[in-house]
Amino acid sequence: MIAEFRRRRDAVVKGLNGIPGITCSAPQGAFYVFPNVTGLGLASSAAVADRLLDEAGVATLAGTCFGAAGEGYLRLSYANSLANLEKAVSRIADWSSRLAAMPTRR
């Protein structure tokens, strides 16, 4: 299981780092990644989380759910199948590419 979760973590981190406006370091424990989404240009991490759910069907938590220092970050779990994780990252990538084409409110 350790090797499988490492594989899932690495796939999610690599996929998120391939999306313009998102950076993600590999976590050292648990089953969560904490990507920085400030490069997407939205007003808050809560706005990103809400829009991802509404517009891309991907559930995340705003980093601010874990305190003010979490602003600009999301929390995503990788405790799911690799296929579902790849689908989620693909949806995030598609959504963010559409976002880049839309004017944003700050």
Reduced to 3 states (helix: H, G, I; strand: E, B; else coil), residue 18 is coil
Confidence (pTM): 0.91
* Closest by Cα among 13, 21, 25, 50 to 37: 21
- Is residue 69 over pLDDT 90? yes
pLDDT at 106 (0 to 100): 46
Q: How far is CA 13 from CA 19, 86, 104, 106, in A?
A: 10, 11, 26, 27
Tens of pLDDT, residue by residue over 1-58, are 999 999 999 999 999 999 999 999 999 988 999 999 999 999 999 999 999 999 999 9
* Closest by Cα among 4, 2, 9, 5 to 89: 9
pLDDT at 73 (0 to 100): 98
Give the sheet arrangement for strand 32-33, strand by strand: 32-33, 74-77, 61-62
